[in-house]
Amino acid sequence: MSDTAVQTKEVTPQVSGAPVAADALQTRLDAMRLPAGGFTAAARADALRRLRDMGLPGPRDEYWRFTNPRDFNAPAPAPISVPEKMQDSPLFQDLDRLKLIFVDGEFDAAASDSLAHEGIEIEMLAQADEVADHWAKGIYGSLEAAGQKPVNRPFAALNTVASRDGMLIRVTGKPSKPVHIVHRRASEDADVTWHHVIRAEEGAELTLLETGMVGARSNGMIEADLARGAKLNYIGARQAVHQKLELSHIFARVESEAQLKAFVLSVNGTLMRHETIVDIVGDDALAHVAGAVLGDGNDGPFHHDDTIFITHGGLRCESRQVYKKVLKNGAEGVFQGKILVKPGAQKTDGYQISQALLLDEHSQFLAKPELEIYADDVVCSHGSTTGAIDETALFYLRSRGVPKERAIVFLVLSFLADALEEIEDEDLRGQISDRLEAWLTRHENQ
């Protein structure tokens, strides 16, 4: 791992690979029911134009070299069977929270809590989009559009074009409980797209949890706009059904003194790509993004890709990227993470670590860490490691009588600890940790 008080410039030229044929995109679009949009109409039209310009990604695209986009490009996902009973009980169910249910990407008001709560205004995109004007108009599709430079993100544009529903949350105060989005799946071939917009006003604070089972294929997005001093804690944890194709996007704009903390847990999944794009535009702001991934190829093919891009545009801001992947039986992990420090963004403190723990020789981890720095008074470090279970630590635990498989569970949890530390709330962290442990225990002997 390199610790550099840097002036390094690692500029990667953009290779624009041959776009996948335009008719493939048309077929993809034809397979969807595209909304016309009310207040989002202009943003959707703009996104469609951008999408046609960039086309669907091909394996030769610089940022799709490690992840084959074929299944995301396909007009429809293969149907998958929904198990009768999940192995894990739903997360956070004993928590005092505002529970909002989405079924195949559409809000289910009857199953959800009332939207009215102090300090927060919640509406649903499907209804709100019937009118021509809305506070979310300036945000919907605009953070996404801004995040398309310098790297094309066609599925993000597709999301803006195609999302029918999602939440529009305006946080004006400090709501007393977290908002918890729970996804449910109704049909076996659901190809689901949703788009949340969050605007946290000055000094407002929100904890947002997103869990549950998404469709056979999903493309989710959060656009989060944090005003001065606002704080957003996000924890995403999708349920463990193995066969799923999952794209997710977080686009955040962070103003002065605002704080974004995002943690995503991924267990199982055939093909997943999580993109997190954070634009720090003010001074003294903070952005921490983290993820923990567990993949076992014995459950089926497993490929998980975290693609992160953090831009520092203000003074004295801090960013951290902490990504950990535990891979076994041929599971594949990818990390592409970048810190861009713009000219004048002095006293930036940027940190990035991506690590994989390979539990056998068949699994693999590919990492592409990047720093691009145009200010001279900054501290940025990045490191990436791939390793196996530490034999000395394993022996230490076993010499105390801890059986080997159990000792490995301890060491995996130990490996993931830094990423989990990024979850501020101790109770939430404990629940995520229990979930990890349950998965590890189930996968001990396979």
Residues that bind other proteins (CB under 8 A): 391-393, 395-404, 406, 410-411, 413-418, 420
Amino acid at 270: T
Nearer Cβ to other proteins (11/393): 393
Nearer Cβ to other proteins (33/400): 400
Compute the least distance from the CB of residue 396 to other proteins, in Å: 4
Compute the least distance from the CB of residue 390 to other proteins, in Å: 8
CA pair distance 1, 71, nearest whole angstrom = 34
Nearer Cβ to other proteins (114/445): 445
Nearer Cβ to other proteins (353/416): 416
Nearer Cβ to other proteins (84/391): 391
Nearer Cβ to other proteins (64/415): 415
Give the Cα-Cα-Cα angle 164, 169, 175 (nearest 5 degrees).
150
Compute the least distance from the CB of residue 355 to other proteins, in Å: 13
Compute the least distance from the CB of residue 441 to other proteins, in Å: 12
Compute the least distance from the CB of residue 407 to other proteins, in Å: 8
Compute the least distance from the CB of residue 415 to other proteins, in Å: 8
Compute the least distance from the CB of residue 410 to other proteins, in Å: 5
Nearer Cβ to other proteins (133/391): 391
CA pair distance 322, 331, nearest whole angstrom = 20
CA pair distance 238, 213, nearest whole angstrom = 6
Compute the least distance from the CB of residue 414 to other proteins, in Å: 4
Record the tokens describing residue 207, joined without a space.
């904890």
Nearer Cβ to other proteins (362/404): 404
Nearer Cβ to other proteins (146/394): 394
Nearer Cβ to other proteins (347/406): 406
Compute the least distance from the CB of residue 276 to other proteins, in Å: 23
Nearer Cβ to other proteins (174/406): 406
Strand pairing category for 205-212 and 179-184: parallel
Amino acid at 97: R
Compute the least distance from the CB of residue 326 to other proteins, in Å: 13
Record the tokens describing residue 441, joined without a space.
């225990």
Compute the least distance from the CB of residue 394 to other proteins, in Å: 9
CA pair distance 172, 229, nearest whole angstrom = 12
CA pair distance 193, 144, nearest whole angstrom = 15
Considering only CA atoms, which of 418, 411, 413 is closest in space to residue 433?
Answer: 413
